Structure 1
């Protein structure tokens, strides 16, 4: 995938929701923004970090806040330019490429729209090859790459530029700011050289996102062997197939938190609970873990083949609960300490995905 055209948008959106584990924002608004940007400016060029001057400045961009708010309150169009110009002014350099911060529903497509508007290429990489709700939960933190300087701007034009002593403090400052901005903002952080991206980021993320989306499109078209192809491409396993019995949601401290309970379709005595903090974090059956962060947990509608963002979950939906292994660096002791269950406050050790289900 060297160019993103209008025909690629739906596949990218599908793959983004799967890899985003239900988080990263609803892709609907980003799809509209990207389609309009491509209509005005042409296809978006996707490149590897190795194709850029090693010292060239790569500017990551995304949206931050509660996914439940993003569906009602979306960018005005000027926020991205504001934060990127602020970063360039602070660093005294001009960016040569845009990069997604995470692979998530909105946050995979939004950077592509920004790149089209600015006439810049997009680097085929992200910080984690999934979505995580906290700024410090990145492979870059494991590599000791600083998140700051960071900049954010809300829909009313309020903007903030800050530097922090470490990436955890960057998260705290960012979260406090976005809460004051109405729970949604555009932001940029982790400015890097292309050589740093190549060494430390998760590369090939947009290409993988596109491949997963194409396999889901084949499922929706009832192509023979499509589900097997999807599971192979995503290295996934079906953990549970059930009907949504109950959903509990709350938006607090800048997060969309909640729990969804599912009853097994064939064995009603089996119940699975999925814990949510912007993304799906932990899947438990009868109180026992079957998958946990940092591995990926996604919910896919059995009847339509559509992956669900956490805010799109509804009572009565029939869903496959899918488990996928995280990028290998997340399985190190340092990765699990940074983004495992205990990092989210659960009294639970990391539990590898069970493939014997």
Structure 2
């Protein structure tokens, strides 16, 4: 496959990406804006991993930070600068870029760089859904002995003294923590390019085909947004599984930005009278009712759809009074990367949200 992105396809990718954001993955409105910008700047070409020559490398493009951070400041030029810095430091021939994950913004991670630097986007993001930590989007590299992570981060407002350019080399988890701290120092967000790997490694460990999956879901959203029930039925039919938990009104949102993450919970009063608690760590992590029944657990995909707009909501934007539909897609029905399949990595979730995950 070699696919040139046009405006309609870009919109589908962003809308579907927002669904797979599962409460995270960035702002779809900014995603739509920057996807359009990318195809105005040049050609955005999406290819299969087999299209990348075996003697070239693939790097991951990402945004790192807390979506609700008040001083987050990220420009398209920051993404380009991040990849240029990476190419200078890594000194490997770059044959493709993959996004760290699917999301309303993050599905298009790398698209601006692709257009300007003429590097193709590979249909194999590090993860087919959004996730909170860099290790979760590192396609299992934390388990590769002696792997040296190379990461470059750029972001922040120069006028407020927040602008940073950071280059990190070292063990993957330590490098990821340093990049997270760079996001904090930048005011909340940085554009990141990281972790050169071979096409073969991507093929074995990334979420191969997950951009295509998001785009197909996005097409369903494009065609059915005015009828949320029909839209959801068609999406779950396409994915081959999933359940609508309830419709209801958001009664309470608790959010704390801590260490570069958004952490908290949402309480929804269902139309059936049952209250549902959705915890989040950037992304929605668990959903259970007031009796303690669990309906979904990360990396299952927990989605909150705004009944007024027909669009998925992120944890950063959901607010009291919103009328929403809650649904869960079991992890078996989405394409996941190696980083969110590791039980040791998932234990971090338990420590942050105080809920049993495994």
TM-score (norm 2): 0.88
Aligned partner of residue 78 in structure 1, secondary structure: helix
Deviation at 1:61, TM superposition (A): 0.8
Partner of 1:126 in structure 2? 125
Cα distance in structure 2, aligned partners of 1:107 and 1:288: 31
Partner of 1:354 in structure 2? none
Tell me, yes or no, if the aligned pair for 2:98 and 2:121 is still in contact at 8 Å.
yes
After the TM superposition, list the runs of 4 or more consecutive aligned residues in structure 1 that deviate by more than 6 angstroms: 328-333
Partner of 1:208 in structure 2? 213
Mean CA deviation greater in 14-23 or 144-153? 144-153
Choose the corresponding residue for 2:344, options 334, 337, 340.
Answer: 337
User: 1:343 and 1:188, CA in 2 relative to 1: closer, same or farther beyond 3 A?
Assistant: farther
Asked if 1:16 is matched to 2:24, the reply is no
State the Cα deviation string for residues 260-316 of structure 1 (Å, max 9, x = none): 100111x22x10010111111111111332211121111012343211112221222
Structure 2: where are the runs of 5+ without partners? none
Asked if 1:92 is matched to 2:84, the reply is no
Cα distance in structure 2, aligned partners of 1:6 and 1:158: 32
Structure 1: where are the runs of 5+ without partners? 351-357
Map residues 158-177 of structure 1 onto 2, 5 A cutoff.
158-165=164-171, 167-177=172-182
Tell me, yes or no, if the aligned pair for 1:147 and 1:191 is still in contact at 8 Å.
no
Deviation at 1:101, TM superposition (A): 0.9
Cα distance in structure 2, aligned partners of 1:264 and 1:223: 16
User: 1:61 and 1:332, CA in 2 relative to 1: closer, same or farther beyond 3 A?
Assistant: closer
User: 1:312 and 1:347, CA in 2 relative to 1: closer, same or farther beyond 3 A?
Assistant: closer
Tell me, yes or no, if the aligned pair for 1:147 and 1:189 is still in contact at 8 Å.
no
User: 1:170 and 1:343, CA in 2 relative to 1: closer, same or farther beyond 3 A?
Assistant: farther
User: 1:139 and 1:324, CA in 2 relative to 1: closer, same or farther beyond 3 A?
Assistant: farther
Mean CA deviation greater in 328-337 or 128-137? 328-337
TM-score (norm 1): 0.88
Map residues 183-262 of structure 1 onto 2, 5 A cutoff.
183-222=188-227, 225-234=230-239, 235-262=241-268
Choose the corresponding residue for 1:279, options 276, 283, 288.
Answer: 283
Deviation at 1:225, TM superposition (A): 4.8
Q: CA RMSD in A?
A: 2.5
Cα distance in structure 1, aligned partners of 2:180 and 2:284: 19
Cα distance in structure 2, aligned partners of 1:90 and 1:331: 26
Deviation at 1:23, TM superposition (A): 0.6
Aligned partner of residue 265 in structure 2, secondary structure: strand
Partner of 1:140 in structure 2? 139
Cα distance in structure 2, aligned partners of 1:7 and 1:329: 25
Aligned partner of residue 104 in structure 2, secondary structure: coil
Q: How many residues align?
A: 345
